[in-house]
């Protein structure tokens, strides 16, 4: 039971990271109706920016960890949001009224551009950093096995819950959120009613990229490493989480992220870690067979 509890804690922390990335996928799909396949690489860029910001702040003499984390978070969110805005302007806006595969192919091309850009500018080797948030708590201990929750796991889960609440409120209660929901229903009618569709879509990409930057920072803090290829793997898993939870639903994206994180962790803990990805995708297929719209997805109503 103690081992189960430990894997549960680890799975929730990992799933929270996947959930933050998945929210970016589901927000873009909900409005534009397209999958932003460059989003995983935006997450990777956010991790690199967080690492560079941390090294710069330490080099100028800052030692207060809360101040460093706050500055790194602000800088990484701002710069990564700019990358997200650029992806929308280059890969999506010119092709928005083209055939449906064109923006998808453009986004895949942008994914390769970003990953190779990171490889050329930062090198192909894994970049590591010393643990920034250390310590934790022992919840229980029996027969020499201790159930522990680290401070970084607490930070990840608390930050994820806070961000989910903030952005759920933003979508449900603010003018921007109403514009997003209007564009999701019908972009043409929204434009006729005075909604700036181009601005709304750009802001959706910006918000999704900012959340991916937070996920990149959490990944760096949790694992202590970043590399140019991590965006592909995390992006595929986050996309899987968005589909599993019900793409288009913010709570569904987070639920799907938690599900993928828990499946990977428990499978790796009780069986073989080599097949944890196979287990995650197998469960995705089984869920979609019986629930085609995902766990919290809504059936799409065709407009006539």
**pLDDT tens readout for residues 9-29:** 999 999 999 998 998 888 888
Work out the pLDDT band at 302, boundaries 50, 70, 90.
low
Question: Other C-beta atoms within 10 Å of 95: how many?
Answer: 18
Q: Which of 18, 79, 50 is nearest to 220 (CA)?
A: 50
The predicted-structure confidence for 116-125, as pLDDT tens digits, reads as follows 999 999 988 9
What is the pLDDT, as a whole number, of residue 94? 85
Q: Which residues lie below 8 Å from residue 138, measured CB to CB, with a gap of 6+?
A: 146, 147, 148
Q: If you ran DSSP here, which 8-state letter would residue 89 be given?
A: I
What is the pLDDT, as a whole number, of residue 172? 83
Q: If you ran DSSP here, which 8-state letter would residue 95 be given?
A: G
Cα(132)–Cα(86) distance, rounded to whole angstroms? Answer: 31
- Let me know: does 202 contact 84? Beta carbons within 8 Å: no
What is the pLDDT, as a whole number, of residue 243? 87
Q: Which residue has the tokens 């202590």?
A: 224
- Let me know: does 224 contact 1? Beta carbons within 8 Å: no
The predicted-structure confidence for 40-92, as pLDDT tens digits, reads as follows 999 999 999 999 999 999 898 888 888 999 999 999 999 999 999 998 888 88
Question: Other C-beta atoms within 10 Å of 23: how many?
Answer: 33
What is the pLDDT, as a whole number, of residue 283? 84
What is the pLDDT, as a whole number, of residue 303? 52
The CATH number of 2-115+135-290 is: 1.10.3470
Give the distance, in angstroms, between the CA of residue 186 and the centroid of all CA atoms in the same chain: 26
The predicted-structure confidence for 191-243, as pLDDT tens digits, reads as follows 998 889 889 989 989 998 999 999 999 999 999 999 998 998 888 888 888 88
Q: In the predicted model, is pLDDT for residue 300 greater than 80?
A: no
């Amino acid at each position: 039971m103690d081992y189960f509890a430990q894997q549960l804690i680890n799975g929730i922390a990992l799933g929270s990271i996947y959930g933050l990335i998945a929210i970016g996928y589901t927000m873009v799909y909900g409005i534009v109706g397209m999958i932003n396949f460059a989003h995983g690489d935006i997450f990777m860029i956010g991790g690199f920016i967080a690492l560079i910001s941390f090294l710069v702040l330490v080099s100028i003499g800052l030692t207060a960890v809360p101040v460093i984390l706050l500055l790194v978070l602000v800088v990484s969110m701002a710069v990564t949001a700019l990358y997200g805005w650029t992806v929308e302007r280059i890969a999506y806006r010119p092709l928005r009224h083209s055939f449906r595969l064109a923006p998808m192919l453009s986004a895949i091309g942008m994914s390769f551009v970003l990953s190779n850009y990171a490889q050329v500018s930062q090198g192909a080797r894994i970049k590591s950093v010393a643990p920034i948030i250390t310590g934790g708590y022992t919840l229980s201990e029996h027969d020499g096995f201790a159930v522990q929750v680290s401070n970084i796991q607490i930070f990840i889960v608390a930050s994820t819950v806070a961000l989910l609440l903030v952005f759920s409120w933003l979508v449900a209660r603010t003018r921007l959120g109403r514009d997003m929901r209007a564009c999701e229903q019908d972009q043409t009618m929204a434009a006729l009613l005075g909604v700036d569709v181009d601005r709304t879509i750009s802001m959706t990409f910006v918000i999704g990229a900012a959340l991916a930057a937070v996920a990149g920072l959490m990944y760096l803090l949790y694992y202590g490493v970043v590399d140019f290829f991590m965006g592909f793997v995390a992006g595929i898993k986050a996309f899987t989480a968005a589909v599993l939870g019900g793409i288009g639903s913010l709570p569904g994206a987070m639920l799907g992220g938690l599900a993928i994180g828990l499946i990977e962790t428990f499978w790796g803990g009780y069986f073989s870690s080599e097949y944890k990805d196979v287990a995650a995708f197998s469960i995705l297929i089984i869920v979609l067979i019986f629930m085609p719209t995902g766990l919290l997805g809504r059936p799409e109503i065709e407009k006539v």
